[in-house]
Chains A and B, each alone.
Chain A
């Protein structure tokens, strides 16, 4: 809150009453300056006020008054007043009245300001002085002070409820101003932006502007850094295009590679189908031929059907040749046999026993003879004869035997040959129809029959051969391997049937295979090939080779371009680093800007709150005055009412509205009412932070004791918030109130020409 303003000390060389120095005690109760008439009480008040506000020497009466205030001792009219300012600091304001020079010096620091204190001047110094005075004292115009808190003697009657009272407020509430200044200062530290949309922006940049400048600088650098990349743009574009081209080629290569498999698969499947179709045709053809040849064989066999027993062996003619020879030989051998048989009957071989028997018989004859004869000679002759005969017989037998053996051998050989021939003949005739009836006579007929049979057999054989060939072909067709023929003729039909069956099975298998292949082809689906490429493996492979070559070319170009790009570099600064820095600064800037907005918001808040507070000023002023009236008149007068402007304000007197300017009151009551207006206005201003010292000169005049007591009570209450200085000559009243003066001026002090150390007695509080 704004501190109350206090007069602390006055050093005066002012008028006839002074030089003098006054220490004014600090306390929360009215300070009583007492003295008899002419003791200088009013001059003291005037000196305090004029030290602050000066004289308007454009006004003749002001000039006259100033000239009358020149000390009689011939000194310059000069005064200094020490005050405890609204800012809580101690200041001394010194005025030299002859030239209106003023000096404001801080007593608790080194700050000093000096300049023109002429209240009528509008130069910069005078304006600055009034600004500083307003800051220290709460008011900068003497009229404002004298129409409110400073009630000089005889000026009470000038008291009016005027709009000016409210206007004083516009410069009031010092802590609001200070608060706004504080907020503005903080805001100014942050930004040069207008905090309230008024006034000039300062030139020194705030943090927001500094950050903006830094961000702008960095963005410029970023643009430069990016510009480098822009320089690289054509090269990068080239690289990008090459990369795009490479990607496109990669895509096409991928598609082609992807398509190649299915296309080859389709090709293989189609080839498989084609093979199957060929095989199917071959099988069909083989089947048809086989059927045809088998049928032909059957027809031929049926046409030349010969009973089995009538079938001549194939080597019948050879056999016939051999048989004819055998027959001839048999004839020869039979004749030989017959001859030998005849020869064998004529030359028989004696019996082997004949010779010994003859010999023995002869010998026995001889022996018997000998015996008979008794001679040995017959015996010997018989014996010799027997021996000769026996030997002859033996030799004869041996010759006959030899001849017989030859004959027998010849016979045997003939017989054996005949037997062999018979066997051979029998063998030769084996399988020959009606072999028993075969004879040289029937040979021709048999030969014709054989020839007919042979021709028929040749036909059958040809048919069989054809069938066998077809069987082999069919088997080869079915198995793709050389097949064995049907074998025995009896099995040819079976073989043919079996092969036909196999052909049917194979044809079915081929059909199934074809169907499967077609399903697989369907399953392969459509190939997504680059434009202009036929969906055949050869075209795809050709396109693939072409694109691979192009891809290699593009890659080489891209690598070369990237090398050039690298050589170009990327400038001096990293856009990433700059962006990071910009991001950080922008975050910082956003935070500072937010903080600035907070201060703007705070500034607006204080302003708006103050405006809102001020919107009730008249009401508040009337309330304050009414309270004082009520307190001071015991409720007889009041409240003050001003439905329009304050100039039309009226007051209720015993409930009836009467004009405030000329109420039907006694002078004492009117005096009290005017005092109430002053006190109320002073309260009002105090609540608004304007707390200049309240100076009341002779407040108890015209008041009865009760009202004087009430006034004293009000003044004591007011003294809690602001300094109250009461000047009075009414010692009796003071005594009645039980109050002792703080500063007592004596008549002796008046008009003295003594030195300035003639300080009045200042009793303790």
Chain B
């Protein structure tokens, strides 16, 4: 149920104390009512200017071509955070009503009378009666209705009560002889063609939603910025660490005036990866198949050096077979003793030796002396 308020130029007269949006009934005074026919597109500001008020809010609405200002809004109502709608008493009167009596609590009785002018235009005049001064609400109401009926006009009278149940029942009983219907004020419906003479909505929820949304994006932006700061610090730390590491490396990696270590390393030969004893032993082992080993000579070249301008370590032309990558040539001299086998037999022995020793890539026989036989043995090292 809305909060019902009655007010006039003197301020708030009645407030039922309910929570929620406010439905206010304004009782205008004749001195305050003004009509303006020259405001074609009226706004509150234009009406304010025309009415001559700077601080207070005018209570107005357009009726036909005329803007009617009924008075000024109470400051207390203007400052209410809940929604407020202000209507005139006649806005609640059903069609055909010519007099109305609204009871607000046990003190205020609003009395409205509809009059039709010579031009056929109906106007309402409203007034308030302080029932406490008039001897109580029921006597005051009875007296007012009696006076009205005594005028003799046939009319429809509306009596609406916004008060507690006891007062409502008392009024009903008191008015039974007058055959006037008494209704609760809350049951009255506003005329659909009547706009409030003032209204403001409760924007609390909108403000709260906007505020929460603003706070949310504020927090997000704050988080985004904090993340940026964190990232910047992290990257700064990484940059400093890398710079320090670079400085350390640059300080450590000095060897005289040498600036091109990789170039120098590319030029120089590198040792074989295999142990020489393994190569010598492999070649010696296969050489003993042909006789007593007299001498063994391993000549190594770095297969990875591969530079054509590198000087060879011996003056012999490289054997095409020995040039095979990953092969080391070992020259062996053996004494075959008295057993001077035929070349065919020696070839058979060599093949047999190679079959059982897959790391021997080739065996070549070189010139013989009277006593010895020279062999060139290719040993696979890679």
Q: Do chains A and B interact in one complex?
A: no
Residues of B within 8 A of A (CB): none
Give the interface of A toward B (CB within 8 A): none
